[in-house]
Amino acid sequence: MVFAFVLIGVGSWALNSKSNDLAGQTLPSGLIVIGVFMLLLSGLGAMSAWKESVGGLAAYLTLMIIVSIILFSIGVAVSVQQNEAGTYIERAWVAAPDDVKRSVQLEFDCCGLKAWNESAVQPCPSTASDPVTSVGCYDALVSGFEYAYRHAGGTAVAFSVLQVAGMVLVCCLIRGIKRKRFEADLAQLSGTQMHPAMTDPTHFDET
């Protein structure tokens, strides 16, 4: 359950990054969705363990495997996108509406993309209006993009690996429940199959 809240938090943080206004919301949103799903999944696991339901725990284990694969895939995808940050930023800047560009310029105190006033939305921030000292937004955007996605991707991969420990525990729990039921059934079977003479007190009075 803790993992779920952390994934939701990291995904929300990456989603609210100004760099993400240009790069898109798919991957951070994916982390949030997975986090919410894991939160619900934790409830299923806790209820199944409390009820000692082998079927419920088996379903929980299967879903954990699927979630781990998805998390690992998201982490790899985020890492790949992070390595191509510059390309994504350039394409997104060209396609972005003026209000997004203006918001980015205000947030990072810059004007234009790679060079000052390049593809800028006027007016630029007053603190970024000097062509000598002012810069474009490219470096700040790439840095922010890489920072947010590095943490999001790392979190996804780390949790997918940590899920393995949870799977092992679930397997041990299922095995313990099955063993407990087997021993109970064996004891019951042994009791019902005992010879009638062994339960008749008069049998031992015979001389």
Would you put residue 111 in left (φ > 0), alpha (ψ -120 to 50) or beta? beta
- Is the model's pLDDT at 207 over the cut of 50? no
Answer whether 178's CB lies under 8 Å from 54's CB. yes
* pLDDT at res. 5: 67
Q: What is the pLDDT of residues 68-89, one digit of tens each?
A: 888 788 777 777 777 777 787 8
Q: What is the pLDDT of residues 15-60, one digit of tens each?
A: 666 555 555 566 667 767 777 887 788 888 888 888 888 888 888 8
Tokens representing 34 are 């997975």
Answer whether 21's CB lies under 8 Å from 102's CB. no
Cα–Cα distances in angstroms (integers) from residue 64 to residues 59, 170, 176, in the given order: 9, 10, 19
Prediction pTM value: 0.59
C-beta neighbour count of 119 within 10 angstroms? 16
Residues 6+ apart with CB under 8 A from 128: 105, 109, 110, 111, 116, 134, 135
- Using CB atoms within 10 Å of the CB of residue 160, give its burial: 0 to 12 exposed, 13 to 18 middle, 19+ buried: buried
Please, which pLDDT band fits residue 165 given cuts at 50, 70 and 90? confident
Q: What is the pLDDT of residues 140-157, one digit of tens each?
A: 888 877 777 777 777 777
Q: Extract the runs of DSSP E, i.e. beta strands, from the chain.
A: none
The mean per-residue pLDDT over the stretch 101-125 comes to 80
* pLDDT at res. 16: 62
* pLDDT at res. 206: 47
- Is the model's pLDDT at 199 over the cut of 50? no
3-class SS of residue 113: coil
Q: How many CA atoms lie within 13 A of 13 on its CB side?
A: 15
The mean per-residue pLDDT over the stretch 2-11 comes to 65
d(CA 115, CA 154): 32
Tokens representing 141 are 């955007």
